[in-house]
Amino acid sequence: MTSLLAVTAGGQRSTSFDVEAVRADFPVLSRLIGGRPLVYLDNASSSHKPRQVLDAERAFVEQHYSNVHRGVHTLSQEATDGYEAARDTVARFLGAPDSHGVVFTKNATEAYNLVAYSFGNAAAGSRFALGPGDEVCVTEMEHHSNLVPWQMLCERTGATLRWIPLTDDGRLDLTDLESLVNERTKVLAFVHVSNILGTENPVDVLVARAREVGALTLLDGAQSAPHQPVDVVALGVDFFVLTGHKMLAPSGVGVLWGRRELLDAMPPFLGGGSMIEVVQMSGSTYAPAPERFEAGTPVISQAVALAAACDYLQGIGLDRVLAHEQALTARLISGIHDLDGVTIIGPDSLEDRGAAVSFSIEGVHPHDVGQSLDELGIAVRVGHHCAAPVCRRYGVPATTRASSYLYNTEAEIDALLEGITSVQRFWSA
Amino acid sequence: MTSLLAVTAGGQRSTSFDVEAVRADFPVLSRLIGGRPLVYLDNASSSHKPRQVLDAERAFVEQHYSNVHRGVHTLSQEATDGYEAARDTVARFLGAPDSHGVVFTKNATEAYNLVAYSFGNAAAGSRFALGPGDEVCVTEMEHHSNLVPWQMLCERTGATLRWIPLTDDGRLDLTDLESLVNERTKVLAFVHVSNILGTENPVDVLVARAREVGALTLLDGAQSAPHQPVDVVALGVDFFVLTGHKMLAPSGVGVLWGRRELLDAMPPFLGGGSMIEVVQMSGSTYAPAPERFEAGTPVISQAVALAAACDYLQGIGLDRVLAHEQALTARLISGIHDLDGVTIIGPDSLEDRGAAVSFSIEGVHPHDVGQSLDELGIAVRVGHHCAAPVCRRYGVPATTRASSYLYNTEAEIDALLEGITSVQRFWSA
Amino acid sequence: MSQSMYQEIILDHYKHPHHKGLRDPYDVEVHHVNPTCGDEVTLRVHVADGVVQDVSYDGQGCSISQASTSVMTDLVIGKQVDEALRTSEAFLELMQSRGQLEPDEDVLEDGIAFAGVSRYPARVKCALLGWMAWKDATAQAADPTRRGTS
Amino acid sequence: MSQSMYQEIILDHYKHPHHKGLRDPYDVEVHHVNPTCGDEVTLRVHVADGVVQDVSYDGQGCSISQASTSVMTDLVIGKQVDEALRTSEAFLELMQSRGQLEPDEDVLEDGIAFAGVSRYPARVKCALLGWMAWKDATAQAADPTRRGTS
Ligand SMILES: Cc1ncc(COP(=O)(O)O)c(C=O)c1O
Ligand SMILES: Cc1ncc(COP(=O)(O)O)c(C=O)c1O
């Protein structure tokens, strides 16, 4: 295994992935933490941003900025062009048929809420309306952001929330899929790749079942879109969500992609400027999607930066990003297998899993693991990772999670493995 | 009148305001539009951002970025410190008693919706709950963003929307205030300074009436906070809203300030990560404010940039910014008075008004005015300015609006006045 | 003032609009509004024997919306409905081209003057106001069950 | 490994906690959870004659939360309730100081070891878990109408 991977994807690409060249784009990676080089393995929480993305945003803000969609003056047109070009880029990144289904939000969380509130706002009788007797189905491994909005929706409407449970090895237990997703199910919202377990879920099986019963599907791509090629048409889902800050873009921007005919039929969520058609004091009518769902001044320069991040990732090739991460994940998992007293929480193999690896160290609380590793310059995340039900399911208060990205190296994985050993030494002393 | 104003505020400050030094901080201001220097008078729509703000954001992102509130590693602590320090800065900027009442949103629009949805989500019997018989009062000069969310709320809950009408000279007609704001009124939401008319509203009168009847007050400060000193305690309101992009910060960040005891009592709006306390599949409990209202990864670096913008404005002094703008507004209004066929829509005097000046040119459609001025390098806004009911009230399809900010000069006002004359020549030919 | 976007053709149509004023007979009348600027048009069509017999209109708006409606009437009156619809498709395509398309003068005649407008997204809606009203009215005229739905 | 935050004092209390285990008699028992990491403490207080007679507890958590609860029991047991509450205020102030405060060893004894923790906002909640539980329980003990509300 080498960190210069020669990846051949469909015979198309064979140049090697140069991780050192990639690292040079990320200023923070040369920081020292307490005198030691930073080893940043908290990417599932948020990624760093390359110069190219920051430069693109700054050039836009310094020379072409203005509010969008509203003016006839030159800057306003340039800003609108930049913002709409960003929408086109994201649409291409997702394999979407056109850009009208791309709604910019502030993060992934807003996107789930947007869909959930739209359902809540729908007039009785509409295909989105929900009430007692209706069901929403999620999974037990959802991020709180794709769980709490549905809990709140069910509470408001009287609908019932159901969830697909987990197997002991960190996968969805599909034994009762037919009864959990049934004729009463209006939405099936589930995570593509789990941020805590690393599990990649069988989208095809779940989408097929949802289609059988006429439920709409929402796929949480917060942890897939940054790391692997994604094609919303091939996935066959109705809605897809991503968040910019986990994929080399700044905080403050996310995306809801939705099938256009659904978005056009959904009632609005946030009310305000830009999402309207005719406003009278006594009532208003609303613009078609995507404007309908972008009330107020949108996240203009953040969308431009997100597009630059998509370009950066596609310039390298998501297939190569994925291959690089898979090599790192393989090294980490086999390294953990070689250690005593360390247990992986989530799939223990490389099959159908992403780069986030959660583990427990016997006798050491995750908080202490995280703090001790930080003293070695190693940044991992400890806690429930906004997926508290998963911790409860596996009987741990919290986990330690290492999650790599395109700029991580095998040497960093080795540093983590050594770090775990010295944590064990320190806390057993 | 001179562009180097020697402003003495309470005897404290007497150094002069150096507009050329300020301009040097804004790269875009040296741009040429079609060969002519840009004259940017579309600040009520969005402002430009000084180097200092962009540099502060970039330094943060390049060296101290991580997700916030979640990690124990060094970067995560530095990022959390930066984000929370931004909250402190905004609290000071607003004269708020502490930072717990400062909620970061993506724009002002999200803030109004947050409050409106919280009311909609409140359980029956709660002080926020709304139903048939209850009333919400706004004004006829609201921006769509502080109007449509209340329309939607009333539609969902059966409450009644009422509004304070306008006088012919662009002010609130308070004749029927006592009946419009009455015992049934739950919220009085109104704009501090109108973005279309420029009117500054009598906050004291409206707050006094709201208090008499026990209604909560929300003040839309999108057009006041950028231009004048604001003190939420002195204003006496319950909620105050601003938006970053109009006050030298990037797009993608706004603020809802609320009295802490209200925020702590309000039900949540967006569900997701960070706003929770205990999450179980069967239901969740929520964190106290401000976290309760910041679901998901917040607008981290945008908040840091907003704090830098607050520092920039306070470094100059909002009193001096205001005085500078008042001089420009005076020059513009008296210049317009000297022209034939140009009518100001909104207060025609300098009393209680901001820097946004809307006008109509007889016989020329605003779109044509805007486009013709753009050919001279002058950026103004044309349209209904997200306040369509105001256009309807004054019988115009749209207006042309010039709005200056701290970096505008008297020479630019003169260029606009000359521009108006050549527009008239061109379109009457 | 160079006024690059305002070609003579556009100014001419704006100042001296063709076919303006509402006339009888007509089959369908529609009312369209551009919500971003409040521009409005009321438009009537009279179709017989598959031919656009008359289009009459009234409205208020900027030079672009007024001139483009005037140009539109020149282009569709007297044409077969099919052919007029193809012309309207060509105009729509031009307006969505963001300045990238070379318009065909044989098809669009005075309409080619709007090529420059397509570079200004905020004005495209103005240029399309009258055309969209005509298309809507014509569709209703062809399908009596839809009449009066707009 | 330098382990700057983990002073010997903290490690000692973590590995050899004082007063651990639930005991009788007690007036109030509370259960507190740190939602960010799932740390939990069950804590009992026994107050008589205005004096903290006993504090006993059980729980699971990181070294910081466990050690700080252990230190807390040393600091409050045997004290007048008023004085113990003042000590707890002093500890709270220290933890909210973001590393800016020089702790008073006369008041906080072993508690001064947590001064470094105050620089880590994510850990402050850990350090306060036991203290908050004790304060809550003590308030309930003082006000019988509130008993059992937590
Ligand atoms: C008076 C007023 N209120 C609210 C808003 C909405 O602000 P934003 O678009 O940033 O949400 C604006 C600006 O567009 C405004 O001028
Ligand atoms: C799987 C998953 N879904 C949703 C989210 C929420 O993303 P955001 O916090 O950007 O809204 C995250 C990240 O926090 C995640 O990992």
CA distances from B60 to A49, A279, B166, B274 (A): 11, 41, 46, 22
- For ligand 1, say whether the CB of B385 is within 6 Å of any of its atoms: no
CATH label of the domain that carries residue B415: 3.90.1150.10
Residues 384-423 (B) with a CB less than 8 A from some CB of A: 386, 388-389, 392
CB contact under 8 A, D1 and A422: yes
Nearest CA to ligand 2 atom 14: A45
B139 shares a domain with B118: yes
CB contact under 8 A, C2 and B372: no
Nearest Cα residue to B276 out of B66, B69, B65, B86: B69
Pocket of ligand 2 (CB under 6 A): A 44, 107-109, 143, 145-146, 191, 195, 220, 222-223, 243, 245, 254, 386; B 273, 296-297
Given the DSSP bridges, would you call strands B36-37 and B32-33 parallel, antiparallel or unpaired? antiparallel
Chains A and B touch (3+ CB pairs under 8 A): yes
Whether residue C1 is predicted with pLDDT greater than 60 in this model: the reply is no
CB contact under 8 A, D126 and A391: no
**Per-residue confidence (pLDDT) for residue D5, from 0 to 100:** 61
CATH label of the domain that carries residue D91: 3.90.1010.10
Q: Which residue of D has its CA nearest to B74?
A: D120
Task: Report the alpha-carbon distance of residue A273 to residue B386 in Å, rounded.
Answer: 6
How many folded domains does chain D comprise?
A: 1
**D119 domain-assigned:** yes
Going by pLDDT thresholds of 50, 70 and 90, the confidence category of residue C147 is: low
**C48 domain-assigned:** yes
B217 shares a domain with B256: yes
B321 shares a domain with B255: no
Nearest Cα residue to D39 out of C71, C21, A383, A30: A383
Task: Report the alpha-carbon distance of residue A32 to residue A322 in Å, rounded.
Answer: 27
CA of B296 from ligand 2 middle (Å) equals 7
Interface B-D: count of C-beta contacts within 8 A: 23
**C1 domain-assigned:** no
Q: What is the side-by-side order of every strand in the sheet holding A342-345?
A: A342-345, A356-361, A399-403, A381-383
**From its phi and psi, is residue A69 left (phi > 0), alpha (psi between -120 and 50) or beta?**
left
Winning range, highest mean pLDDT, from A171-180, C32-41, D114-123: A171-180
Instruction: Give yes or no for C126 touching B (CB within 8 A).
Output: yes
Answer yes or no: are the C-beta atoms of B42 and B408 closer than 8 Å: no
A251 shares a domain with A224: yes
CB contact under 8 A, C35 and A276: yes
Q: Which of B256, B286, B314 is the last residue of a domain?
A: B314
Whether residue C149 is predicted with pLDDT greater than 60 in this model: the reply is no
CB contact under 8 A, D63 and A365: yes
B403 shares a domain with B388: yes
A300 shares a domain with A173: yes
Length in residues, chain C: 150
Number of H helices, E strands in chain C: 5, 3
Relative to the CA of A386, which ligand 2 atom is closest? 14
Interval B8-64: pLDDT, tens? 333 344 457 899 999 999 999 999 999 999 999 999 999 999 999 999 999 999 999
**D2 domain-assigned:** no
Q: Residue D55: give the domain boundaries.
A: 8-142
Going by pLDDT thresholds of 50, 70 and 90, the confidence category of residue D81 is: very high
Q: Which of B263, B290, B314 is the last residue of a domain?
A: B314
Whether residue C144 is predicted with pLDDT greater than 80 in this model: the reply is no
A270 shares a domain with A149: yes
Whether residue A326 is predicted with pLDDT greater than 80 in this model: the reply is yes
Task: Report the alpha-carbon distance of residue A265 to residue C48 in Å, rounded.
Answer: 36
Compute the nearest-CA separation of C35 from chain A (Å): 5
Going by pLDDT thresholds of 50, 70 and 90, the confidence category of residue C4 is: low
A23 shares a domain with A101: no
How is residue A100 written in tokens? 């009208």
**Per-residue confidence (pLDDT) for residue B205, from 0 to 100:** 98
Task: Report the alpha-carbon distance of residue B116 to residue B239 in Å, rounded.
Answer: 12
Which residues of chain C lie closer than 8 angstroms to B371, CB-CB?
5-6, 120, 123
A102 shares a domain with A13: no
Asked about A154 being catalytic, the answer comes back as no
Using CB atoms, list chains with 3+ pairs below 8 Å to chain B.
A, C, D
**Per-residue confidence (pLDDT) for residue A255, from 0 to 100:** 98
Given the DSSP bridges, would you call strands A216-220 and A239-243 parallel, antiparallel or unpaired? parallel
Compute the nearest-CA separation of A375 from chain B (Å): 8
**Which residue among C38, C62, C64 sits closest to B391, beta carbon to beta carbon?**
C38
A260 shares a domain with A168: yes
Number of H helices, E strands in chain A: 14, 17
Whether residue B313 is predicted with pLDDT greater than 50 in this model: the reply is yes
Whether residue C148 is predicted with pLDDT greater than 70 in this model: the reply is no
A341 shares a domain with A218: no
In the predicted model, what is the mean pLDDT of residues A22-41?
A: 96
Interval A90-136: pLDDT, tens? 999 999 999 999 999 999 999 999 999 999 999 988 989 999 999 99
**Which residue among B250, B272, B378 sits closest to A145, beta carbon to beta carbon?**
B272
Which residues of chain A lie closer than 8 angstroms to C121, CB-CB?
77, 80-81, 84
Q: Residue B8: give the domain boundaries.
A: 2-49+317-428
Using CB atoms, list chains with 3+ pairs below 8 Å to chain D.
A, B
Instruction: Give yes or no for C37 touching A (CB within 8 A).
Output: no
Q: Is the pTM of this model over 0.90?
A: yes
**D3 domain-assigned:** no
Answer yes or no: are the C-beta atoms of D117 and D103 closer than 8 Å: no
Task: Report the alpha-carbon distance of residue A347 to residue A354 in Å, rounded.
Answer: 10
Given the DSSP bridges, would you call strands A254-258 and A239-243 parallel, antiparallel or unpaired? antiparallel
Cite the beta strand spans of B232-300 per DSSP E.
Answer: 239-243, 254-258, 276-280, 283-286
CB contact under 8 A, D120 and A371: yes
B45 shares a domain with B188: no
Interface A-D: count of C-beta contacts within 8 A: 57
CB contact under 8 A, C120 and B388: no
Task: Report the alpha-carbon distance of residue B254 to residue B242 in Å, rounded.
Answer: 6
How many folded domains does chain A comprise?
A: 2
Compute the nearest-CA separation of B264 from chain D (Å): 18
Residue type, A278: V
**Per-residue confidence (pLDDT) for residue A124, from 0 to 100:** 87
Compute the nearest-CA separation of D142 from chain B (Å): 25
Chains C and A touch (3+ CB pairs under 8 A): yes
Q: Which of A280, A314, A348 is the last residue of a domain?
A: A314
Lowest mean pLDDT among B2-11, B19-28, D7-16: B2-11
Provide the angle, in degrees to the nearest 10, between the axes of the packed helices D63-76 and D8-15.
90
